[in-house]
Structure 1
Amino acid sequence: MIRILTHDQQNQLVSNWDLSKLASAASDNFWLDISAATEEEREEVKHLFPEFDRQNKLVQKQPNRPQLKLFKDGYSVSMRVISPNTLKTHELYLYVSEQKLITFHRKNLKAINDVWHECRSDPQFQPEHIPEEILRRLMSRLIDQYIMAVNDLEDQIDELDLNAKNEPIHKLNRKVFQLRSQLLGFRRVIAPLMDVIHRIIGSAMIKTSRDQELFLRDINENLSRLTHMIESNLEITSDIRDSYLSLTTYRMNRIMQTLTVITTIFMPLTFIVGIYGMNFAYMPELDLQYGYFIVLGVMAVIALIMFYWFRKKGWFDK
């Protein structure tokens, strides 16, 4: 799907143009959004905008880290975007110049759709603000989504800690490892993106206005704050994980200790039973009238002595 946001000859914002009309109109300022495009649509875009073709090799791949490429008339950025609902990562590619913004993504992204509908319905939005204003709104929307998602993970961590007594340890451990995996996924997205923002701010080839530079620095501060939040939550989940593992080990040791005590008490009893279970012809105790009860009494006394001895050693203390 290809969407175009631009202005007509009356300087009115329009969003129902196709590529052919955009090429014939030769509009200066526009936003071209490409989502899950067919091969024909991509070829048409490459033909109309050769600068997009120069990053086509980048688009064909799936980079693990955000990348910044500089050109004479603009720059391209490849980044990974986290879906706020599923926390899955998706690729987003931007080509930015003074008068146009091209976005390419294979999946439907909430941030892109929100900014698209926001610009269309905003009466204060001016066409000449493309692409700077759209890029600003897009980055702000992404940061807001990231903050909301990290706050949601924090709430899950707090809830996990509060419900620790009501759930089995193995379920708690599984939830902790899942939360840590999601936090690590955030860190893999945000930390490299900070490096890209640093490069955009410090690059002499990228022309940015004073307001835009201040905005990028503000975005960088928000990313830094997000990084600190993620690191703090990782430490908390690490402490919770270690506590659960220690508690699991303690419970396992208590179970093994109880089984050891029971086994140890029954060892001499089993020994006595084994002796009198041998089939020898002459065993004097077998002829005693009360031999059976005497042996049972001896076994009970041994068991009680060992029980009190283990209790004195503190093996039955909770």
Structure 2
Amino acid sequence: MRRKEANSHKRRRMSNRNLSDKYFYVGEHETVTGIRLTQYNETTIHTREIKTTDTFNKLVDTNYMNWFQVSGLTDAEAITRIVQDFGLHNLDAKDILTPQHVVKIEEYESRLLIILNSCYYDANTEIRTEHISILVAGDTVITFTESSNPVFEATYKALESNMLSIRKKGSGLLLAFLLNTIIANIVESVTKVEEMLEDIEETLLDIKNSQENMGSLIQQRRHEYMIIRKNSQPLKEQFSKLLRSENGIISSDILPVYNDLADQLSFIIQSSESCREIISSLVDLYISNNDLRMNAIMKRLTIVSTLFIPLTFLVGVWGMNFKFMPELDWRYGYIIAWSIMVICGVITWLYMKKKDWY
């Protein structure tokens, strides 16, 4: 465990910002790099594990569509070789190995490189992010993920069921399914944040509800919203490059699929803007509720103080040490004093109630 923590800390101190012949994975995942190759055509589909030491472009079979799934980026040397085997620069490998890299869609003559980040909620309702890269080169698609999470399980099931005749199409439709999986996760995340914000709003609108930990909950939802916005806004801005692509990867017959993905991204942006407005309103409402609770407390304290003002006056008068005080010699002076104080208290209380001061 200590060795893993030390390795993770060491990677966080690394930086791929400088030009170099060799780059490293600078994320926090410890997943050992594994590669699965799925090859399919109209009639068949088969999957197998391959070694990181293989020459990857030689594994490509032109009779099939080839989908390499690379899970885990710790083997930076293997990642770099994959990129170079398919005709890209080692600077592209740097982008894949850097989770903090900005979202981008880079179009080459016959290749396409997409760098993005996805997010999703795990079983503990904690938001997780995943740095994902997709390389398209002819009839080959390569996906890079930081962890071994089954990010593209839905895409594999679509291949098995031949959804939308995906096996008859080229890499463009496979890419669309991959992007749809990523975008669908972001849609679910932003929808969940919106629902949780609405729950907080319902709690805050009823002042009688417990307001405990509401401030920290709002701050947590704000943090999750910022993650979603950080991942979706740049992707929306870059996505237009795919719609204008002229390298033949995205054919005109599957363009409606990409238009639908663009619509989903627009929905994410609109929902995130809605979340931003709700968060701003919740902060104001939370502060207002705190002020109302403080005012209520001060009102109670004021009422108690007001009730005791005449009583304090009477006690002060009878507590003076004058030698001649006729009340001291009265047989029923003590009872009369208590009666006067009770009557004064009741009259004061009835007066405040009539004025609707509480």
TM-score range, shorter chain: 0.7 to 0.9
How many residues align? The count is 313
Contact 1:75 1:206 in 2 (8 A): no
TM superposition shift of 1:244: 5.1
Determine if the alignment matches structure 1 residue 79 to structure 2 residue 116.
yes
Contact 2:113 2:135 in 1 (8 A): yes
TM superposition shift of 1:254: 2.0
Determine if the alignment matches structure 1 residue 15 to structure 2 residue 47.
yes
Structure 2 distance, partners of 1:53, 1:32, is: 19
TM superposition shift of 1:260: 0.7
Give me the identity figure in percent: 20
Structure 2 distance, partners of 1:286, 1:307, is: 27
Determine if the alignment matches structure 1 residue 135 to structure 2 residue 175.
yes
Correspondence for 1:169: 211
TM superposition shift of 1:276: 4.3
Query: What secondary structure is seen at the aligned counterpart in 1 of 2:296?
Result: helix
Determine if the alignment matches structure 1 residue 262 to structure 2 residue 304.
yes
Q: Residues 77-116 of structure 1: matches in 2 within 5 Å?
A: 77-85=114-122, 86-116=126-156
Structure 2 distance, partners of 1:25, 1:161, is: 55
TM superposition shift of 1:174: 4.8
Structure 2 distance, partners of 1:158, 1:305, is: 46
TM superposition shift of 1:79: 1.0
Contact 2:105 2:239 in 1 (8 A): no
Correspondence for 2:38: 5
Change (3 A) 1:2 1:264: same
Determine if the alignment matches structure 1 residue 31 to structure 2 residue 67.
yes
Contact 1:84 1:146 in 2 (8 A): no
TM superposition shift of 1:298: 3.4
Determine if the alignment matches structure 1 residue 282 to structure 2 residue 317.
no
TM superposition shift of 1:186: 2.5
Structure 2 residue identity aligned to 1:53 = N
Structure 1 distance, partners of 2:279, 2:140, is: 44
Structure 1 distance, partners of 2:333, 2:269, is: 78
Mean alpha-carbon deviation: is it higher for 188-197 or for 265-274? 265-274
Change (3 A) 1:248 1:37: closer
Query: What secondary structure is seen at the aligned counterpart in 2 of 1:111?
Result: coil
- CA RMSD of the aligned region, Å? 3.5
In structure 1, which of residues 61, 72, 76 is the aligned counterpart of residue 98 of structure 2? 61
Change (3 A) 1:265 1:72: same
Correspondence for 2:253: 211
Contact 1:200 1:206 in 2 (8 A): no
Structure 2 residue identity aligned to 1:282 = K
Contact 2:119 2:129 in 1 (8 A): yes
Contact 1:265 1:303 in 2 (8 A): yes
Contact 1:33 1:102 in 2 (8 A): yes
Query: What secondary structure is seen at the aligned counterpart in 1 of 2:151?
Result: helix
- The alignment's TM-score, normalised by the length of structure 1, stands at 0.79
Report Cα offsets for 1:25-63 as digits up to 9, x if no partner.
443442222111442533543553451633122123233
TM superposition shift of 1:219: 0.9
Query: What secondary structure is seen at the aligned counterpart in 2 of 1:5?
Result: strand
TM superposition shift of 1:145: 3.3
Contact 2:203 2:211 in 1 (8 A): no
Correspondence for 2:335: 293
Change (3 A) 1:94 1:236: same
Correspondence for 2:231: 189
Change (3 A) 1:37 1:121: farther
TM superposition shift of 1:151: 4.2
- The alignment's TM-score, normalised by the length of structure 2, stands at 0.72
Change (3 A) 1:75 1:122: closer
Structure 1 distance, partners of 2:55, 2:334, is: 107
Which structure is higher in helix share? 1
In structure 2, which of residues 82, 85, 99 is the aligned counterpart of residue 45 of structure 1? 82
Change (3 A) 1:304 1:64: farther
Query: What secondary structure is seen at the aligned counterpart in 2 of 1:216?
Result: helix
Query: What secondary structure is seen at the aligned counterpart in 1 of 2:48?
Result: coil
Report Cα offsets for 1:167-220 as digits up to 9, x if no partner.
412255554554444344323322221111113323556753112433222211
